[in-house]
Amino acid sequence: MAAISAAMVKELRDRTGLGMMDCKRALTENDGDIDKAIEELRKSSGMKAAKKAGRTAAEGIAMCKVSEDGKFGVMVEVNSETDFVARDEGFRAFVRLVTDTAFANKQTDVAALMAGDLEVAREALVQKIGENVSVRRVATATAEDGVVSAYVHGNDRIAVLVALKGGNEELGKDVAMHVAAVNPLVVNPTDVSEDTQTKEREIYTAQAQESGKPAEIIEKMIDGRMRKYLAEVSLTEQAFVKDPDVKVGGLVKKAGAEIVSFTRFEVGEGIEKEVIDFAAEVAAQAGL
């Protein structure tokens, strides 16, 4: 049995907004696994979702480049330690160099991409600015019988590549902008993995059973919630941000096109930064 620390309880409380005893119990029952504890709390409390742990550490920018014929595109994320450096022209010039190199080589493997001149350039930049700089990820998109479109939000922290079968650049950019704003999980409801669906159904089942309604009603409640969930996370089923009366799938179909794929980068997502409580640290060192 894993020891349940106060820090673990605090993190779970911060992520769920639930009481200390509920969080401690959930952690104890799940051997200290925070993600499993969150699933159990969702089942028992009806909580919809949990916040991400901590705060993102990475600053930086995301950048895209699409070929003139609209058949190929590349997107990169490059991280710095501070937002100040992310706005530096020397840093941005390096990101353009990375993007151009990935575009020219159609390369998504970061290690292979950085081998040679790019790594030399990165090291020189680090020496100049005094901060660590890292190329985190690269994505590409190809559309032989359609178009690739890109959208980068004004803050350069969210970027999207979309590949369409048919359609045109303007349609693709509208879809990419929607993806940037709404952040869907998949293109179509059928693309949601069985594992994800199973976990969501378990949660909805636990929630519905708390209602005390007859089994046949509970089953209908679960099915209804699953349909709603699949629609909410699927790009084609979402209301288009520029015209909520139209679904994205309908918008694309009306133009005689089809969404093949999308990739969305948000700078720093999934990278956690250690937040140091200096007062507590000093107190601990002083034995207070």
> Burial letters for 210-234: b for 16+ Cβ neighbours within 10 Å, e otherwise?
eeeeeeeebeebbeebbeebbeebb
Tell me the per-residue pLDDT of 181-199, one tens digit each, with 9 for 90 and over. Answer: 999 999 999 999 999 999 9
Q: What is the CATH number of the domain that holds 76?
A: 3.30.479.20
Whether 154 maps to a domain, the answer reads: no
Burial class (CB in 10 A: 0-12, 13-18, 19+), 35: exposed
Residues 31 and 82 occupy one common structural domain: no
Residues 63 and 107 occupy one common structural domain: yes
Residues 76 and 137 occupy one common structural domain: yes
- Using the predicted structure, report yes or no on whether residue 57 has a pLDDT greater than 60: no
pLDDT at 280: 52
Q: Which domain holds residue 37?
A: 1-49
Residues 74 and 32 occupy one common structural domain: no
Q: Are the beta carbons of 83 and 268 closer than 8 angstroms?
A: no
Residues 7 and 72 occupy one common structural domain: no
Q: What is the CATH number of the domain that holds 2?
A: 1.10.8.10
Whether 18 maps to a domain, the answer reads: yes
**pTM: predicted TM-score of the whole model, two decimal places:** 0.75
Whether 208 maps to a domain, the answer reads: no
Tell me the per-residue pLDDT of 85-120, one tens digit each, with 9 for 90 and over. Answer: 999 999 999 999 999 999 999 999 999 999 889 999
Tell me the per-residue pLDDT of 22-46, one tens digit each, with 9 for 90 and over. Answer: 888 889 999 999 888 888 887 776 6
Tell me the per-residue pLDDT of 70-89, one tens digit each, with 9 for 90 and over. Answer: 999 999 999 998 899 999 99
Cα dihedral across residues 184, 185, 188, 190: positive or negative: negative
Q: 9-18, 52-61, 222-231: which range is least confident on average?
A: 52-61
Total domains present in the chain? 2
Structure tokens at 92: 């941005």
Please report how many Cα atoms fall inside a 13 Å half-sphere around the Cα of residue 98, on the Cβ side: 35
Last residue of a domain, one of 13, 28, 49: 49
For residue 184, report the phi and psi dihedrals to the nearest 5 degrees: -70, 160
For residue 16, report the phi and psi dihedrals to the nearest 5 degrees: -110, -25
